[in-house]
Structure 1
Amino acid sequence: MADITASAAPVVASKAAPKPKKRIPLLVWFGIIWIGFIIVVAVCADWITPYRFTAYDLRNRLSLPFHPLHWLGTDELGRDVLSRLIISIRISLLVAFGATVISAVFGTLMGFIAAHFRGLAEQAVLMLADFQAAMPFLILALSVLAFFGNSLSLFICLMGLYGWERYARIARGLAISAGAQGYAGAVRQIGATPSRVYLRHILPNIASTLIVSMTLTFPEVILLESGLSFLGLGVQPPMTSLGNMVGYGREYLTRAPWIMLAPACTIVLTTLAVSLVGDWLRDRLDPTLR
């Protein structure tokens, strides 16, 4: 009898052993730290810039990096590259974050409308999404900016139209799936309004998928903003952005490459960090991969 008890003890202990926690990969830690650093720089831009980003220092034009007064050098007008880079990070993050939120909200709303009304409303939303996906967004952006002019608010709203069809398809499919599972119909039968059903019951269940989609869209918006600013149709002077700095520095690539390399490296590291964190979140939040 004692032998049976002794032999059963290890089995119970092995079943009660806690599961080993999954460690966060080193590259994901790099992405998290870099994103946090960029956010702090953007929020504190007004206090940490050594000079005004439009201030001229003609005596130190085209100064090399590690200059005693200008750590990242200056451009041909003597403007401090570090100060312009800090302000550019804030503007680029503002555009990317605002556009991503607008795209997610608008796309999710259109997806819920298609899932709720079905019929003609669903066909109209899907046709609009197909049209958005079929037309190159760069051509649409060039046309709108050339016709209506450019301002920061208009530019953010225009960038918010990028990728909304992804959220619409995701929200529509998941909302239809939630309705088929029965809990949405049960809440509706006890008197809940459609807005309460979608916002309080369906949206929290699909929020993880939408958040992952936002982390994957965010770097694309940064690259798109950089491309438009590089072409001269993005953020307009005297305001500056990362793409604006890259476009401005290409004329001095052979004489002063630091003007272009500083914002270019920032774009690469930021998009890489957001992509790494987004992939990690997708693996952690997707129940099929657990």
Structure 2
Amino acid sequence: MTSVEATLESSAKRSLLSRLRLNLPFLIWVSLLWLIAMLLVAVFADQMRPYAITKMDLSARMAAPGTPGHLLGTDDLGRDVLSRLMQSIRVSLVIAFGATLLSAVVGTGLGFLAAQFRGWVEGAVMALADFQAALPFLIMSLAVLAFFGNSMVLLVCLMGFYGWERYARIARGLAISASAQGYAGAVVQLGATPARVYLRHILPNVASTLIVSMTLTFPEIILMESGLSFLGLGVQPPQSSLGNMVGFGREYLTQAPWIMLAPSFVIVMTTLSISLLGDWLRDRLDPTLR
């Protein structure tokens, strides 16, 4: 790496960090603490669960929350709701993280290709993005899962197909704008390859916008997965996800509402926290809003 490249890269990193080094509002602190708690539950679910998710105790069927040994109660088979909720948080977050990352990588890569080659490559990428935006994703997901069956890998790949066109459009526009600026042209004149220019210089400068887009896509994927699981085409037993628990609990809403309300509360709080964090990041990282 030349001294000019190193200077440009360090300048981009300092600019991003300086925008984030601000006092956090109270709601953002609450959102961060909630998301950290969810991540800890997802990582250490096996150690934190009081029972196995399939362990049944028919003598304690539909026990109310607060019952000794069952903090959030039990379902109609006597399975501990808290244990299943922890496992559901892990599964739903793994799907959402994996799908969001896959969507961002594919979309950003295609956007950079469109910006680099222009011409028919750009036209093909943008036409594919327009087709994706016009496609009723939920109907397509139902058809794919009904035809190919259910698996975690297929579900992550299918969810990752959602929203990639946003990243492609954003990455293409920002890459074209950055290429026209002096710093990109400077490293090209120094002999840097296109891959190095995009990955080491353009990507750090457009990362803030892409990160905000990821925070907006993440809760949408959680809700999409929850909807598919609610309809019975998402995560399948004996595994459990938040949407799976909501779909199961709707049958007992009048008898044991806690079966459905516990995962519903987690879904609402998690999506709300990520949305608030995304709005805050957008305000901090977009210079036109300051």
TM-score of the superposition, structure 2-length normalised?
Answer: 0.91
Tell me by how many angstroms 1:148 deviates: 1.2
Distance 1:230 1:63 in 2: 23
Superposed CA deviations along residues 180-213 of structure 1, whole A, max 9, x for unmatched, are: 1132222122211111111011000000110111
Distance 1:195 1:140 in 2: 34
Partner SS for 1:268: helix
In structure 2, the partner of 1:283 is: 283
In structure 2, the partner of 1:59 is: 59
Unaligned runs of 5+ in 2: 1-20
In structure 2, the partner of 1:238 is: 238
Compare relative contact order (CA 8 Å, sep 6+) and give the higher one, 1 or 2: 2
User: Are 2:32 and 1:36 equivalent residues in the alignment?
Assistant: no
TM-score of the superposition, structure 1-length normalised?
Answer: 0.91
Count residues with an aligned counterpart.
Answer: 270
Distance 1:29 1:109 in 2: 33
Matches within 5 A, 1:116-265: 116-265=116-265
The Cα RMSD (Å) is 1.0
In structure 1, the partner of 2:94 is: 94
Distance 1:240 1:122 in 2: 41
In structure 2, the partner of 1:113 is: 113
In structure 2, the partner of 1:266 is: 266
Distance 2:132 2:69 in 1: 48
Residue type at the aligned position of 2:274: V
Tell me by how many angstroms 1:139 deviates: 1.1
Distance 1:24 1:201 in 2: 29
Superposed CA deviations along residues 240-286 of structure 1, whole A, max 9, x for unmatched, are: 00000000000000111000000000000000111111111111111
Partner SS for 2:180: helix
Residue type at the aligned position of 1:183: Y
Residue type at the aligned position of 1:227: G
Residue type at the aligned position of 2:182: G
Superposed CA deviations along residues 119-168 of structure 1, whole A, max 9, x for unmatched, are: 10001000000000001110111111111111001110110011000000
- Structure 1 runs (4+) deviating above 3 angstroms are none
Tell me by how many angstroms 1:69 deviates: 1.5
Unaligned runs of 5+ in 1: 1-20
